[in-house]
DNA sequence: GTTAGCACTCAGGTAATCAGAGTGCCAAAC
DNA sequence: GTTTGGCACTCTGATTACCTGAGTGCTAAC
């Protein structure tokens, strides 16, 4: 599929017009504002070619043409020259990203930012990275037989949990238990630690010292159904999608909202985007999900210290302002990565 | 406004019919299945009376009648005999309420439960109660100059935060600081503690011992912009509302979704419900919020140990199945209270 | 290759018509 | 006096017919 330069500019003009108007675009309209000086008739010829190539189509005989998914694809891949965002605008965005030290809040803030600027739905994935064990502490609570277990990971994330014990431990016992644990497992991935603990269940002999047994027992409770769940997703601005006439069919909207709630499909897309390590755009059915068939998804991974740690993006109707969305997603990804790397270390 | 018994049963029949059908109800329909043996003409007479009282109205001359907000009010207050839920059904609900020890998960679970059973939107408020201080611990992290502050409240909730210090503290210093703090503030409300800390800023003289100064400084960081925010709200099942033909106007839906996101209106309603200490029902504009004008809200507070600690409910169209919703909300409130009070104590 | 002209198609709006559902009211029946 | 049957009236919603405007494809001329 090779397009003449003229066909290209025509296609570009048509798509841009359609994106801004939402109406099928006819030859006359294009002839007047398309930039190139051609009569409607000529334009009709070119449009017929474009239709043969599957880039545009007409909803019915006597309406103008609208881009197909393939048309958008070509537009996005080869016609769209994304202009870099000017610095003042970028600073404005950066200011919106409130960082209060809590990474989850930061993600939420990024998601709202995306949805507010684009007027579409913003999504941000918070990956639960496989972290390494750093330190565990057992803290006796003043009420009987309860111990607070605090787990600090190598990245400085803190998990805690109150567990019930069969008897009251002395502070000394607790310290001893913690020491054993910290010596043994420091630096090991959490997954390993967990596996070990479950294995320990079996080989607990009488031979093992009490401190070890105590530590094992308490730590095991800590790890039991600790949210080992998958990564988490923040979605915001779904309500924006209600505004969009393209998604007129309420049934489609419903499916979309269900998808947002289920989040499985989103996770999959986000995951793909993680791997891709650069911006990805899914147009229409390209995402492979029925509910997203009339939607496009623009996603970009964000990095901290050169490593991809998560991904974010925007979901909207196929007819979205790709130009704007792409820059905003790109910039937000960079800003988010930047904000995260200023996190204490 | 006093209704004859006949008018009452008629109103009841009409509303029940309208709730299940969604169509304006005419005299013929009512004559056939209304329970009472009357001709359409008679029924028309009674209906005219009901209309004069403002309990029902007709969308236009030749449609049947539909209940007004006032009509629903009377229906709910005096006509509806809510039957208690049967125990097997109740157990089924109880099973849905998964309690994994995390109260927030429990609330989310309750909200989903509400929305799934009623097919409407469920809301649960998680009040940030004013808690009392119980215990604070400072834990030296292996990386330089970072201390993990752990705060345990009287109710056993744990907050933690990593703070940066100007120099490295020895374990002994940390213990000393914690001891000072625990001795001084044990049992005091968190608000007091916070106030004290901010005050301490001023009267920090050289006279004060080092341990005290250290403790104050670290604890102050802990309390700084600790989410002192208001209570939190969990909303789920909003997507259910997309299904409902009553809210046909997409603009209204949008407003509703915006309201859910903003949550301010909800908080206010929930707050009212907290005070009321028994179930409350807002029909149509009774809630006082524009966005909820075509909605009803059914809320009930839930209690732990006889004290109201939060409130939950359902939002749906004015034309909702009040009978079902009321029992479900009631039962869920009791279940949630029950589940919460099995929480360790 | 480009353009003007022309016949053709189709969606969407407007108006007219019609059936169905329901009401209000009056007079007769109970 | 309450209830009922009957009848004229009203209004919605569906169906149909019609018309206009926008747009196309094709052909022939430039």
Taking only the tens place, the pLDDT of each residue in A89-112 is 888 888 888 776 667 788 889 999
Nearby residues of A14 by Cβ (< 8 Å), 6 or more positions away = A25, A30, A34, A47, A50, A56, A65, A67
Contact B160 A137 (CB under 8 A): no
DSSP A26-48: PHHHHHHHSSS---HHHHHHHHH
Contact (Cβ atoms closer than 8 angstroms) between residue B237 and residue B114? yes
Kindly provide the b/e burial profile for residues B214-244, where b requires at least 16 CB atoms within 10 angstroms of the residue's own CB: bbbbbbbbbbeeeeeeebbbbbbbbbbbbeb
> Could you read off the pLDDT of A24-35 as tens digits, one per residue?
998 888 888 767
- pLDDT tier at A326 (50, 70, 90 boundaries)? very high
What are the φ/ψ torsions at residue B134 (nearest 5 degrees)?
-120, -45
A17-44 average pLDDT score: 85
> Could you read off the pLDDT of B216-233 as tens digits, one per residue?
777 777 776 555 555 788
Chain A nearest-CA distance from B254, in A, is 6
Which chain B residue is nearest to residue A252, measuring alpha carbons?
Answer: B242
B137 contacts on A by Cβ (under 8 Å): 139
A299-321 average pLDDT score: 91
Q: What is the mean pLDDT of chain B?
A: 83
Chain B contact present for A94, CB below 8 A = no
* Stronger pLDDT, A297 or A127, i.e. the higher one: A297
What pLDDT was estimated at residue A316?
94
Residue nearest to nucleotide C10 (CA to C1'): A62
B254-272 average pLDDT score: 86
Chain B contact present for A243, CB below 8 A = yes
Which chain A residue is nearest to residue B158, measuring alpha carbons?
Answer: A160
Is the pLDDT score of B123 beyond 90? yes
The length of chain A in residues reads 345
- Between A160, A258, A344, which is nearest B158 by CB? A160
Is the pLDDT score of B84 beyond 90? no
What pLDDT was estimated at residue A341?
77
CA–C1' gap, B121 and C21, in angstroms:
35
Instruction: Using the CA of A47, give the nucleotide whose C1' is nearest.
Output: D24
CA–C1' gap, B77 and D11, in angstroms:
34
Residues 274-333 of B with CB within 7 A of strand C? none
What pLDDT was estimated at residue B343?
54
Q: Which of A130, A155, A150 lies closest to A222 in space, CA to CA?
A: A150
Find the helix or strand (DSSP H, E) in which A200 lies.
Answer: helix A190-203
Chain B contact present for A224, CB below 8 A = no
Nearby residues of B207 by Cβ (< 8 Å), 6 or more positions away = none
- pLDDT tier at A323 (50, 70, 90 boundaries)? very high
Q: If you compute the radius of gyration of chain A from its CA atoms, what whole number of angstroms results?
A: 27
C-alpha B9, offset from chain centre: 33
Which chain A residue is nearest to residue B161, measuring alpha carbons?
Answer: A158
> Could you read off the pLDDT of B186-205 as tens digits, one per residue?
888 887 888 887 776 555 55
Chain B contact present for A156, CB below 8 A = yes
Chain pair A-B, CB pairs under 8 angstroms? 75
Q: Treating both helix axes as pointing N-terminal to C-terminal, what angle do A190-203 and A210-223 enclose, rounded to 10 degrees?
A: 130
- pLDDT tier at B344 (50, 70, 90 boundaries)? very low
* Stronger pLDDT, A78 or B155, i.e. the higher one: A78
Chain B contact present for A59, CB below 8 A = no
CA trace torsion B88, B92, B98, B103 (10° rounding) = -60
> Could you read off the pLDDT of A266-300 as tens digits, one per residue?
888 888 888 887 899 999 989 888 888 889 999 99
Is the pLDDT score of A253 beyond 80? yes
Contact A135 B158 (CB under 8 A): no
What pLDDT was estimated at residue B302?
92
What pLDDT was estimated at residue A345?
43
What pLDDT was estimated at residue B281?
95
Lowest mean pLDDT among B75-89, B185-199, B258-272, B302-316: B185-199
> What pTM, to 2 d.p., does this model score?
0.79
Is the pLDDT score of B209 beyond 70? no
What pLDDT was estimated at residue B188?
86
């Amino acid at each position: 599929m090779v397009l003449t330069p003229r066909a290209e500019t025509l296609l570009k003009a048509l798509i841009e017009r359609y994106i801004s108007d939402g109406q099928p675009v006819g030859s006359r309209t294009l002839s007047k504002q398309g930039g190139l000086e051609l009569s409607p008739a000529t334009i009709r010829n070119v449009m017929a070619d474009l239709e043969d190539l599957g880039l545009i189509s007409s909803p019915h005989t006597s309406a103008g043409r609208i881009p197909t998914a393939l048309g958008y694809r070509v537009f996005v891949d080869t016609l769209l020259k994304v202009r870099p965002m000017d610095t003042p605008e970028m600073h404005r965005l950066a200011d919106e990203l409130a960082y209060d030290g809590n990474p989850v809040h930061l993600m939420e803030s990024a998601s709202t930012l995306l949805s507010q600027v684009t007027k579409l739905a913003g999504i941000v994935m918070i990956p639960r990275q496989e972290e390494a064990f750093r330190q565990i502490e057992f803290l006796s609570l003043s009420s009987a037989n309860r111990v607070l277990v605090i787990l600090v990971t190598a990245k400085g994330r803190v998990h805690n949990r109150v567990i019930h014990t069969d008897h009251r431990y002395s502070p000394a016992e607790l310290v001893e238990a913690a020491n054993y644990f910290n010596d043994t497992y420091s630096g090991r991935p959490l997954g390993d630690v967990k596996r070990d603990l479950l294995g320990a269940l079996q080989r607990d002999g009488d031979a093992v010292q009490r401190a070890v047994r105590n530590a094992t027992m308490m730590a095991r409770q800590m790890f039991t159904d600790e949210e080992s769940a998958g990564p988490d997703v923040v979605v915001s601005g779904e309500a924006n999608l209600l505004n969009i006439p393209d998604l007129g069919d309420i049934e489609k909207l419903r499916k979309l909202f269900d998808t947002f709630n289920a989040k499985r499909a989103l996770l999959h897309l986000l995951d793909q985007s993680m791997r891709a390590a650069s911006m990805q755009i899914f147009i229409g059915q390209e995402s492979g999900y029925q509910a997203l068939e009339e939607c496009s998804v623009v996603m970009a991974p964000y990095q901290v210290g050169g490593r991809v740690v998560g991904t974010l993006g925007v979901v909207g109707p196929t007819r979205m302002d790709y130009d704007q969305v792409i820059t905003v997603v790109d910039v937000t990804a960079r800003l988010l990565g930047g904000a995260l790397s200023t996190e204490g270390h």
